[in-house]
Amino acid sequence: MPLSFFIRTRVSCSPLIERACIPSAHQASRVQNGEQKAGIPGQGEKVLSALNEDKCEALNFGINYGMVANNLPTPADVVTLLQAICVSKAKLYDADRSVLSTFTNTGISFIVGIPNQELGALASASQAFQWVQENVAAHLPDTHISAIVVGNEIFSTNDTTLMGQVLPAMRNIYLALSLLNLHHDIIVSTAHSFSIVTTSYPPSSGQFNPAIATTYMKPMLEFLSKTKAPFFINVYPFFPYKENPKMIPIEYALFKPNPGVQDPKTSLHYTNMFDAQLDAVYFAIEALGYHNITLLVSETGWPSAGDENEVGANIENAKVYHQNLMKHISLQHGTPLHPNTSLEVYFFALFNEDMKPGPGSERNYGLFKPDGTMVYEFQFFNQPNASSSCSSLHFVFTLFLYFPTLMHLIHFHL
C-alpha cells in the first residue's frame, strides 16, 4: 500500500459523529499492532485524556451506562467515547469489575449500584463489609467512586419484603465505608421512581405515597439527613406527557418557550415539567419534616422511538429534550423552590439497550447506538471549542492508529 494512502487517511466518521467530535468507538480504542490489552487503557486513551483536559468545561451532569444488551462496545471503547465527549461522570447499575478496572486513571467518576436481588444478603454487616471491600475499596484510588446506590426504584413496587431490606442494607454499607474511612468521600443512597410521589400537582402539594411515607420514607430521610447524602430521583417528563398529551403542552415537557403554570399556593412560576417534578419531590420531603436534603437526578431522558401508542417517542423530541435540558443544567438556576442551587443530573442513557424488557421506548433511550454513532445530533455543552476539538481529535486518532505502519513504511522507503 503506498505511503501516500496513510498520509491522506483520517479516521472515518459519519456526519453525526463529526458534529460531536466522536470517532468510531472501534477505531478509537484499537492499537494497530495489537498491544492494547483488555482492562488496560492504551496510549490513545492517554493522549485523549491529555488533549481533553484543556478542551472540556466542568458541567454537573453525567450519564447512565446501562448494559442490558448483547451488542455493546467494550469498556475500553467506552472510555474513549466518554473522554471524547468530555463526560467525567458515569453511573452503573452494578459494580462491574471489568468496567471499573478498565476506567483506572481516566478521570471519570462512577456511581456504582447494588442490584435489588442482592440486598437481602446485606442485612449481614459482615457481608456488607465484604461487598464494599471487593467492589469499591479494591478499585480505589485509581478508579474514582463517588456514591453507592442501594437498589433501584424499589418503593414503586409492591414487594414489602424488598422494601424492608433497603434501609438495613444502606446502614450496613455506610458502616463498612466508615470502618474503611471512606464515608467522607462516598455517599450511600437509593434511587427512586417519581411514581412514589402520588400527589405532584401543583408542586406544593407534593406528597409521597401514604403506604410508604411513614413506614419507609421517613426513616430513610433521617438516614440521608444524618449522612448528608442526597435523595436520588428518576424523573421523566415523557411519562406524564405520554399519558395525557392533550392536557400537557409538549413545549412544557421539552423546555420550549411556553406561558408556564403558577403554583396557586406558593405563587412560584414553572416553565417546564422537569422543575415542577423536582419541586414536588422537595415538597414531599419537607412534608415529612426534612428541609436539608438535596436532590440528585439519577435518571432522566426521552426515548427516540417507541411503540405506536407511545405518544411523543421520536427522534426530534428526544433531541430537543436533551439539548434543552443541557442548556437548563448549564445555567445552574436550580428550581423555583430552590433557585441558584447546583443540581447533579445523570442522562439516561449512554446506549440503546436491545435486551431491555417492556415497551419499545425502553430500548431507545440511548444517545448512542452500540456502534458508537449518535442516534441524533447532540452538542455536549462542555465542549466549548467543538470545531477545534474535532480537528485535534481526528489528528490524534489518525496518528495513533497508523503510527506503527507509517514509521515502518518511512523506514522502508529510506
Which of the residues are catalytic? Answer: 153, 299
Task: Supply angle C-alpha 92, 94, 99, rounded to 5.
Answer: 65
Q: Are the C-beta atoms of 237 and 218 separated by less than 8 Å? A: no
d(CA 36, CA 31): 6
- Produce one character per residue of 73-104: b if its CB has 16 or more CB atoms within 10 Å, e if not: bbbbbbbbbbbbbbbbbbbbbebbeebbbbbb
Nearest to 279 by CA among 235, 247, 328: 235
Grid cell in block for residue 60? 454537573
Three-class SS string for the chain? Answer: CCHHHHHHCCCCCCHHHHHHCCCCHHHHHCCCCCCCCCCCCCHHHHHHHHHHHCCCCCCCEEEECCCCCCCCCCHHHHHHHHHHCCCCEEECCCCCHHHHHHCCCCCCEEEEEECHHHCHHHHCHHHHHHHHHHHCHHHCCCCEEEEEEEEECHHHCCCHHHHHHHHHHHHHHHHHHHHCCCCCCCEEEEEEEHHHEEECCCHHHCEECHHHHHHHHHHHHHHHHHHCCCEEEECCCHHHHHHCCCCCCHHHHCCCCCCCEECCCCCCEECCHHHHHHHHHHHHHHHCCCCCCCEEEEEECCCCCCCCCCCCCCHHHHHHHHHHHHHHHHHCCECCCCECCCCCEEECCCECCCCCCCCHHHHCCCCECCCCCECCCCCCCCCCCHHHHHHHHHHHHHHHHHHHHHHHHHHHHC
Q: Are the C-beta atoms of 353 and 67 separated by less than 8 Å? A: yes
